Amino acid sequence: MHENRSVITHSMAISGDINVDTDLIIEGAVSANRIDSKNHTVVIGQYSAINGDIYGAQILVLGNITGNLFASEKVDIRSTAVINGDVNAPVIRMEEKARLNGRLNYT
């Protein structure tokens, strides 16, 4: 990750689209049509709850997402992740016990 980053902590709940030009770490609750970190990394923390589509260069998922993921480089889905939506990326890594209700699309 880069030195510049935006963080949504576990004590925050955000409703509305998010557009940042830095790495983005989400540990709280977010409801948005679009969460966009441009060409940066997005980290979805283990206890986060996301409702919306996520865009970034790399996406690391440890928490819960209802929405689609679009990564220009890769998506890393850890064992604690629950995704209700499609995953779109050239490289997709998924650990055992991760849950996906959707499709893996290699782009």
pLDDT digits (tens, 9 = 90+) for 26-44: 999 999 999 999 899 999 9
- Cα–Cα dist 75/61, whole Å: 8
- Across the range 20-29, mean pLDDT stands at 94
Dump pLDDT digits (tens) for 81-97: 999 999 999 999 999 99
Q: Is residue 5 predicted with pLDDT exceeding 90?
A: no
Looking at residue 81, its pLDDT comes to 98
- Cα–Cα dist 65/49, whole Å: 6
Indicate the pairing of strand 64-66 with strand 87-89: unpaired
